Amino acid sequence: MAVSWVERVASFLRSPSRFLSSTTAEVFLVELLREQRDERVTYDVKLTMLSPLCEHPTLLCPSACTGEETCLELMSVFSHCPPKYTEFRCQLLLTLATVLVSTGCVSAHSHASRDFLDLLLKLAQDTYHDPADVPSALRSTRAAACECLRELEACCPGLLSQHLELLNGLRQQENPRHHQALSGLYAVVLRNGVHLLARQAGAGPEGLKALLGGNAAVAWEAEPESPALTDRPESAPLPSVLGPTGPGPTLHTGPDCKELRSVLSSLLEESYLLTPLSQAALLHALTEVVAMVSGVSPAIFKAQLLRLLGTSKVCLFHSTLLMKAAFTDSLFSPEDEAFLLKRLVALCQHPQMSTAAKLLYTDCLLHFPENRPVGAADGGEALPVLFTPRLAAALVPTAFDEPATMLARLNVSALVHLEEQGEEEGGGLAYLWDHLLLLLHVVEHGGDRRGVVTFFRASFLFLCRFGRVERYAADLQRRLCALYLRHSRLAPHVLNLADRAQDVRPGWAVALLRSLQGAAVSAGDDLGALSLTDLHWHLRVLARVAEEGQIGQGSTVDFLFAVATSASPASRSEDWRLGGDLLAVCRHLLAHPGLDALLCPLADVLQHVARHHGDTDIRDHGRLYYALLTALSREKLGGVLGGGGGANGDRQDKKRALSSMVVESQDLTSALTIHKARAPVFHLVAKGHPGGRAESTPAPGDDEAAKADPGALHADVLSSYRSQLLSSGSAAEISLSYELRYLDAGPAGFDRLFSLRLHFEPAAGRFAALADVCVPCLFRERASAPPAVTLTLTPRAPCPGTLRCSAVFTTQDELTWHAALPDVHVAFRQLFKPLPVPASWGPALRLRAFERLWDEFCSGGDGGSGGEEGGDASPDRASSLFCGRLGEAELEALLEEHFAPFRVADPRDATGHKVLLYLPPRSHMLLRVSPQEDAVQFHMATDNWRLLPHINDFLLSITDWEARNGVDS
């Protein structure tokens, strides 16, 4: 059961939708909760079973009612769990918090939320302490409870605002080494409480004092209308008061804030005991509190500022910058600001800093919160006032920088040059241009993709800053065209740069596209020397150029005509990719504003493609474009191609042309669409007795060989068999025979089907993937024999399974249909195979193999065969006994009907019968059948104990005495 649940949970987490296709979320949830209450299940398995609720809470609990019931069940499990199972208890608390928040159950009217909050507060107060509990386990449970409380408070602000005094007392009583969780919880609750209080009209010092002294009873049932659990529309995380949305609410309390200042000072004095991430979270929360309360001076952070200014931790330095943004010159002097800038510059180039940290510090330079900002703060990038060129000299980009770092430094250096000299040329701009040419040199001489991307990003950045400098802009355009001609594979990068530059430098982008057009057309002077790849990219470039109405397209049409009529090499006229690229250019030309001047030459190109191209589809598309060009007006052509737009660029509703093309299009769409059948049309019916096989004919001389050298025979029988088993690929397969028949209650209109393609999908991974089966036709006429279908299955485990079936077929009206078929169930009986022994074996060797396998399975495996098992005892081997009420005649008929191909002849045993079953992929089931006075005993031995329930059910079904004698059980 434990292994089964671990596998089920893993299957659910891999694909919840596929897992729930065989069951429902409600059933799966009920089973999970039932197993959680089962005392026989180990807590390791129970811990694994919590994963579905943690990962997909809303999938298993789609409603608040279901979520509340689930939480009540899990809290019952928690109350019965011994304290020593710390990991399970902590994970259970986190699961409860996840389900409560995800399903929206946190409200005053929810018993589950009140009970869970009661439980968490009691755990935080250590009222559940057991003397037998170890301190580490106790601390872990308390920390998990605090994390759950913080999560609930973050998702539902104000939930714990009535317990600030309680939490403050717990924080002060806790050992300083382990008070981190309570400190972080208290800071979050204080920040949310002050935020909500500041949003209330008329709030003042009395409200703040009541908030800090709030100590509501833990028993929520005593006061169900407590404000902590009242339903508020603001039951979502509160926005940050330090964010880009502007200043947050302000609480006017006057100078009387002694209690709040005392609490803040205590938290700040103990903050150095926390981990850096916890310190950063605490400082962020306290910064927001001070920013909202006007009666508390930002100077309260002064004692911590010296430590924070010298920190090397990214999170703490970021918290310092948040303080700078919130308080500016109220806390930071100009000397502090200058020191911060120097620290940022030093950290941007520190060799021990990671690339991500360097990029963060560089970004902080460009968004530095200043004491006295100059100009309007629009949120864009700008250099700080105190950032001098001398400081910026340390951040000049070099060829040895990592690409992201180099681009960031290039941006900073460009801003420094613009601030000092504007767009005028100077030493700084010349250095940046030389650096860009160095990157271009790397690309021209075989740079990798990383270097290519870096160069084009640097080019875009250079254009953004210095695109108005005519000398450099024209030179960059010329060099890019030359680069494209030498390396046409870079066309996507060049076109992407043109697209991006249209937003910032539209004139430069059009000029670049015009130059690219000239470069591509000039390559057509010698089409025979052009490779197919180069020609492909030239056509892609011309297609993009054809989108620009400002660029004339006469040279492009001449190039297209040369490509369409070129006969060298001959294979180009049959390449559908090249034809598609050529037609893509033509399509854009059909929507070009200068189409009137291109009408005749473009018609010649399309007519030549429609008549002489080697690919049928390309000819059809060329004929269509030619018909559109010659038959439709400019307005209709623009509407068909989707290029029409209003004065404001909005897409207008297109008018449909009333022509036969619409009807032909509808018929073509219907013919190309795969239609969905509403009900199954046919099914697979088992043919004869699947799985049964005749026993191979004994080889002559087999018994004589056994008599001549019995010792060698006894020693080598199992090793020979196992060698044969390892070398035989068909031993792991079973072949099942079926007939394809119509369903009696199937839908009408499917009397004659053609080109059937059957698709099988094994359920639960019981079998390996099957190849599709093709059937030529299926007719409903009685005279026609049903088609035979043979399925070759490769079981992954010797147990029954199901195949989900579907089919795609064509009807007599040439429409294609898809239909689901009834599932094919593979029974345990169908997995039986005779022992896959060598073809030369006769009855004596088969009997000897049976005896050796029986001894090995029943005695723990000391056969010493030297085969696959290696003579070691296997934990999967087992033996069992089954009894049935059968007479001698009934027994003989049963053996003949069900076990004839698998019986092993033993002339020495006249009363007993031996049956040897092989079940792929590599399992055995041995039966000794012996009749007794009033029953028949089936002694069983196997190398896979998981087969016993299946063989027991099978024997029970074929020896059912009541069914044979007509007795109602």
DSSP letters for 735-801: EEEEEEEE-TTPPSS-SEEEEEEEEEEEGGG-BPPPPPEEEEEEE--TTSPPPEEEEEE-BSSSS-E
Q: Average pLDDT for residues 377-384, to the nearest whole number? A: 72
Compute how many other C-beta atoms are within 10 angstroms of the C-beta atom of residue 959.
20
Q: Point out the least confidently predicted range of 37-51, 224-238, 505-519, 834-848.
A: 224-238
Partnered with residue 804 across adjacent β-strands are 761
pLDDT-derived band at 84 (thresholds 50, 70, 90) equals confident
Determine contact, residues 627/575, Cβ cutoff 8 Å.
Answer: no
| pLDDT for the residue 805 | 95
Q: Average pLDDT for residues 661-676, to the nearest whole number? A: 60
Which residues contact residue 97 at a Cβ distance below 8 angstroms, ignoring those fewer than 6 apart?
116, 148, 151, 152
Task: Pick from 83-87, 134-138, 252-256, 728-732 the range whose average pLDDT is largest.
Answer: 83-87
Determine contact, residues 314/360, Cβ cutoff 8 Å.
Answer: yes
User: Measured between alpha carbons, how far is 340 from 549 in angstroms, rounded to an integer?
Assistant: 52
Residue with tokens 């309360």: 293
pLDDT-derived band at 669 (thresholds 50, 70, 90) equals low
End-to-end CA distance of the chain: 30
Q: Average pLDDT for residues 274-292, to the nearest whole number? A: 93
User: Measured between alpha carbons, how far is 181 from 187 in angstroms, rounded to an integer?
Assistant: 10
- 861 has a pLDDT exceeding 70: no
Please count the CA atoms within 13 angstroms of the CA of 822 that sit on its side-chain side.
Answer: 14
Partnered with residue 757 across adjacent β-strands are 774, 808
Q: Average pLDDT for residues 68-77, to the nearest whole number? A: 93
- 524 has a pLDDT exceeding 80: no
pLDDT-derived band at 35 (thresholds 50, 70, 90) equals very high
User: Measured between alpha carbons, how far is 645 from 771 in angstroms, rounded to an integer?
Assistant: 50
Q: Which residue has the higher pLDDT, 301 or 906?
A: 301
- 571 has a pLDDT exceeding 70: no
| pLDDT for the residue 965 | 55
User: Measured between alpha carbons, how far is 359 from 704 in angstroms, rounded to an integer?
Assistant: 86
**Which long-range contacts link 651-658 to residues 24+ away (Cβ below 8 Å)?**
657/632
- 859 has a pLDDT exceeding 90: no
pLDDT-derived band at 638 (thresholds 50, 70, 90) equals confident
- 591 has a pLDDT exceeding 70: yes
Burial class (CB in 10 A: 0-12, 13-18, 19+), 622: buried
| pLDDT for the residue 880 | 92
Q: Is the dihedral of CA 866, 872, 875, 877 positive or negative?
A: positive
Please count the CA atoms within 13 angstroms of the CA of 36 that sit on its side-chain side.
Answer: 29
| pLDDT for the residue 217 | 46
pLDDT tens digit string along 772-813?
Answer: 999 999 998 866 788 999 999 999 889 999 999 999 999 988
Give the strand pairing for 913-919 and 923-931. antiparallel
- 661 has a pLDDT exceeding 80: no
| pLDDT for the residue 239 | 75
Determine contact, residues 322/330, Cβ cutoff 8 Å.
Answer: no
pLDDT tens digit string along 127-162?
Answer: 444 444 446 677 788 889 999 999 999 888 888 888
Determine contact, residues 618/581, Cβ cutoff 8 Å.
Answer: no
3-state DSSP percent of the chain in helix, strand and coil, to 5 = 60, 10, 30
Residue 611 tokens, joined: 């008549």
Q: Average pLDDT for residues 84-97, to the nearest whole number? A: 93
pTM for this entry: 0.61
pLDDT-derived band at 222 (thresholds 50, 70, 90) equals very low
Q: Average pLDDT for residues 753-759, to the nearest whole number? A: 92
Alpha carbon 377 to its chain centroid, in Å, reads 40
| pLDDT for the residue 289 | 93
User: Measured between alpha carbons, how far is 916 from 739 in angstroms, rounded to an integer?
Assistant: 29
User: Residues of 681-704 as b/e, b for ≥16 C-beta within 10 angstroms?
Assistant: bbbbebeeebbbeeebebeeebee
In one-letter notation, the amino acid at residue 221 is: E
Compute how many other C-beta atoms are within 10 angstroms of the C-beta atom of residue 676.
9
| pLDDT for the residue 873 | 56
Residue with tokens 């529309």: 233
Partnered with residue 802 across adjacent β-strands are 825
User: H or E element: which one contains 346?
Assistant: helix 334-348
| pLDDT for the residue 378 | 55
User: Measured between alpha carbons, how far is 151 from 94 in angstroms, rounded to an integer?
Assistant: 9
| pLDDT for the residue 376 | 42
Cis peptide preceding 16, ω within 30 of 0: no
In one-letter notation, the amino acid at residue 260 is: L
| pLDDT for the residue 700 | 40
- 580 has a pLDDT exceeding 70: yes
| pLDDT for the residue 565 | 85
Q: Average pLDDT for residues 952-967, to the nearest whole number? A: 73
User: Measured between alpha carbons, how far is 951 from 922 in angstroms, rounded to an integer?
Assistant: 16
| pLDDT for the residue 60 | 93
Largest CA distance in the chain: 114
Q: Which of 897, 937, 935 is nearest to 913 (CA)?
A: 937
- 716 has a pLDDT exceeding 60: yes
User: H or E element: which one contains 803?
Assistant: strand 801-811
Q: Which of 776, 696, 697, 791 is nearest to 737 (CA)?
A: 791
Q: Point out the least confidently predicted range of 324-328, 536-540, 612-616.
A: 612-616
User: Measured between alpha carbons, how far is 655 from 931 in angstroms, rounded to an integer?
Assistant: 87
Q: Which residue has the higher pLDDT, 385 or 669?
A: 385
Determine contact, residues 727/867, Cβ cutoff 8 Å.
Answer: no
- 46 has a pLDDT exceeding 50: yes
| pLDDT for the residue 635 | 74
| pLDDT for the residue 175 | 60
Q: Average pLDDT for residues 274-301, to the nearest whole number? A: 92
- 225 has a pLDDT exceeding 60: no
Q: How far is the CA of 97 from the CAs of 89, 138, 574, in angstroms? A: 13, 19, 65
What is the arrangement of strands in the sheet containing 773-779, beginning at the earlier edge strand?
674-676, 816-826, 801-811, 752-762, 773-779
- 45 has a pLDDT exceeding 60: yes
- 677 has a pLDDT exceeding 70: yes
Q: Which residue has the higher pLDDT, 375 or 777?
A: 777
| pLDDT for the residue 108 | 63
